[in-house]
Amino acid sequence: MRLAPGPRSHCPYCYEEISQRQTWFRCAGRTSPSGKRCAPEPDPVLRDRTGFGGALPPAFAADGRKGAATCPECMVETTIIICPVCHSRLPVHFGKVGSRLIVPVGAKEAGKTVFMTVLVHELMHQTGQRFNAAITGADDFTRYRFASDYERPLYRESRLLPPTAVGGTYDQAPLVFRFTTEAPRRLNGRLRLAGVFGSGDPKRTLLSFFDTAGEDLHSQQSIEQNVRYLGAADGVLLLLDPLQMRGARDLVKPGTRLPSSGADDPATVLERVTDLLLAKEGGKPTRKISKPLAIVFTKMDTLMHDLKKTSPLLRSPPEEPYFDERDSLEVHTEIQRLLARWEGTRIDQIAQLNYRRYRYFGVSALGETPTQDNRVAARGVRPYRVANPILWILAQFGIIPVK
Ligand SMILES: Nc1nc2c(ncn2[C@@H]2O[C@H](COP(=O)(O)OP(=O)(O)OP(=O)(O)O)[C@@H](O)[C@H]2O)c(=O)[nH]1
Ligand SMILES: [Mg+2]
Ligand SMILES: [Zn+2]
Ligand SMILES: [Zn+2]
- Per-residue model confidence as pLDDT tens digits over 270-309: 998 898 888 777 656 668 999 999 999 999 999 999 999 9
> Which distant-in-sequence residues (6+ apart) come within 8 Å of 8 by Cβ?
17
Which ligand is in closest contact with the Cα of 211?
2
From 105, 158, 160, the mutation candidate for ligand 1 (largest count of ligand atoms within 8 A of CB) is 160
Residue 296 phi/psi, 5° resolution?
Answer: -110, 115
In this structure, which amino acid lies at residue 208? Answer: S
Atom index in ligand 1 nearest the CA of residue 239 equals 19
Atom index in ligand 1 nearest the CA of residue 115 equals 15
Ligand 1: centre distance to CA 111 (Å): 3
Measure the CA–CA gap between 144 and 192, rounded to whole angstroms: 37
365 lines ligand 1 (CB under 6 A): yes
pTM of the model: 0.89
| pLDDT given for residue 98 in this prediction | 63
Q: What is the DSSP letter of 314?
A: G
Measure the CA–CA gap between 177 and 136, rounded to whole angstroms: 5
Measure the CA–CA gap between 157 and 162, rounded to whole angstroms: 13
Mapped onto helix, strand or coil, the DSSP state of residue 327 is helix
Cα distance between the two ends of the chain: 18
Ligand 2: centre distance to CA 213 (Å): 5
pLDDT band at 97 (very low <50, low <70, confident <90, very high): low
202 lines ligand 1 (CB under 6 A): no
Closest protein CA for atom 1 of ligand 1: 369
pLDDT (tens digit per residue) in 226-261: 777 888 888 999 999 999 998 998 999 888 888 876
In this structure, which amino acid lies at residue 221? Answer: Q
Which ligand is in closest contact with the Cα of 77?
4
Task: State how beta strands 175-182 and 69-70 pair.
Answer: unpaired
